[in-house]
Amino acid sequence: MLRFIHTRGLRECLERYREAGEQLGFVPTMGALHEGHLDLVRRAREICDRVVVSIFVNPTQFNDAGDLAAYPRTLEADVEMLCAEAVDVVFHPDVDDVYPPGEDLGRRQFDFGGLDELMEGAFRPGHFAGVAQVVDRFLHIVAPDRLFMGQKDYQQVAIIRSMLEQTAHRAELVVVPTRREPHGLAMSSRNERLSPADREKAAAIFEALSWMRSQAMVSSVEDLRRDFLERCSIPPLRTEYIEVVDGQRLRPLSNLSQSDVVVACAAVWAGEVRLIDNMTLVGDELSS
Ligand code: AMP
């Protein structure tokens, strides 16, 4: 497995793969890897000739300096895990390599048609502009044939799909289902910050979403949301939002029959740790 911290060496290496006619799969991550990330890597391994993984805690997508500082960083363990998955290339640049000082990168303005104003966009102002900026930048550097992302970050997938439509990147987006812990909590690097007791309690998020799905045919949206709130009102859990939205534009629905694909998306604080999750209530999963 090759490791790069500078863009130039990486570009040269990838150029050789491309000249050999090999298909590149790219998995962007912020590290602190877990089985959810590895599912993306394995999917890429299955359908691409070469797999490139980036590990970069992108400062421009954090709207809270404390959250950025507290984000777990476990580079050497991550590299070992990727080596065991037969990843070809790991790219773990410094902030200065991605955003060279003095270079005016500007922020390319994307029009997400309101997608970035809801849910995560509303509670984390500037977050999606930062996500789109870094993924756009990495796609310029890596120019993969396929880009792998997790359904766990449902709104992020919708944002990146929209960004791809607005750019000339040729990458095909492959969405991988959410990997969960045995009791249902969606795997996340942030779970490492939960105490064992809070980690148990956070399983209520998955249980509440599953309840919503089981009741989707017989309950109103209002009742479904109320049920979620009740089921997640176990201290230290505190729900920031629970929305029932259409699967494409992520517009809040007042009635489930308004869309073929209906998804429940939630953000819940477990003490100091902010967790997000989602579940398709009606229609097909995003995954391909
Ligand atoms: P992150 O390191 O949190 O930026 O995540 C990198 C990629 O892994 C994103 O596309 C996430 O959606 C995906 N991912 C994170 N957690 C999971 C999970 N539990 N299951 C599947 N994919 C995930």
Q: How far is the CA of 37 from the centre of ligand 1 (A)?
A: 5
Query: Alpha-carbon torsion 21, 38, 64, 280, what sign?
Result: positive
277 CB contacts (<8 Å, ≥6 apart)? 152, 178, 186, 205, 206, 209, 265, 266, 268
Q: What is the mean pLDDT of residues 180-184?
A: 97
DSSP-derived secondary structure for 127-177: HHHHHHHHHHHHHHHH--SEEEEETTSHHHHHHHHHHHHTS---PEEEEEP
What is the side-by-side order of every strand in the sheet holding 237-246? 237-246, 262-270, 273-282
Given this model, what pLDDT does residue 287 score?
46
Cis ω on the peptide bond leading into residue 182 (within 30° of 0)?
no
Residue 265, beta-bridge partner list: 243, 278
Specify the ligand 1 atom closest to the Cα of 152: 12
- Cα gap 185→197, rounded to integer Å: 13
Place of tokens 């959410």: 178
Q: How far is the CA of 41 from the centre of ligand 1 (A)?
A: 11
- Cα gap 32→57, rounded to integer Å: 10
Residue 272 has pLDDT above 70, yes or no: yes
The answer, yes or no, to whether any atom of ligand 1 lies below 6 A from the CB of 176, is yes
- Cα gap 9→15, rounded to integer Å: 10
Residue 288 has pLDDT above 60, yes or no: no
> Would you give the distance in Å from CA 227 to the centre of its chain?
26
- Cα gap 225→168, rounded to integer Å: 39
Taking only the tens place, the pLDDT of each residue in 52-95 is: 999 999 999 998 899 899 899 999 999 999 999 999 999 999 99
Q: How far is the CA of 150 from the centre of ligand 1 (A)?
A: 5
- Cα gap 142→79, rounded to integer Å: 19
Helix axis angle for 7-19 and 127-142, nearest 10°, is 50
Q: What is the mean pLDDT of residues 137-148?
A: 96
Taking only the tens place, the pLDDT of each residue in 95-127 is: 998 998 877 665 678 999 999 999 999 999 999
The answer, yes or no, to whether any atom of ligand 1 lies below 6 A from the CB of 159, is no
**β 50-55/24-29 pair status:** parallel
Q: At residue 262, what is the residue type?
A: V
